[in-house]
Amino acid sequence: ETGVTQTPRHLVMGMTNKKSLKCEQHLGHNAMYWYKQSAKKPLELMFVYNFKEQTENNSVPSRFSPECPNSSHLFLHLHTLQPEDSALYLCASSQVRQGIYEQYFGPGTRLTVT
């Protein structure tokens, strides 16, 4: 595997379900991100992790719970979601050091909440 991978690619869940999204980066990066891409809205940054520590929570509801066990893996735990949470969830990674600013994105998980 190369780059940033995300599983599953598609997920349908009911409002009372609990599920998790997984992201893995194979680039040796030290920062990872979750973004939400909704129809007709700009891409929104949700969470930022640097060296496994959460450094940014962009006012995300508590029904979204991120976890970063190591620099290569990032999870997004979902519970009691609402239909408006249906979106494409993108993971990204980057190497945070002087002069390096590019974020590499995974293909996303298409989430539908019924």
Partner 1 sequence: AQSVTQLDSQVPVFEEAPVELRCNYSSSVSVYLFWYVQYPNQGLQLLLKYLSGSTLVKGINGFEAEFNKSQTSFHLRKPSVHISDTAEYFCAVSDREGGAQKLVFGQGTRLTINP
Interacting residue ranges for partner 1, rule: CB under 8 A: 4, 31, 33, 40-45, 48, 50, 55-56, 90, 92, 94, 96-97, 99-108
7 or 79: CB nearest partner 1: 7
Rounded CA separation 105/37 (Å): 12
Complex with partner 1: residue 16 or 98, whichever CB lies closer: 98
Cα separation, 54 vs 42, whole angstroms:
23
Shortest gap between Cβ of 27 and partner 1 (angstroms)? 13
**At residue 44, what are phi and psi to the nearest 5 degrees?**
-115, 130
Shortest Cβ distance from residue 55 to partner 1 (Å)? Answer: 8
CA 55/CA 32 separation, integer angstroms: 10
What gap in Å lies between CA 92 and CA 94, rounded to an integer?
7
Nearer to partner 1 (CB atom), residue 11 or residue 96: 96
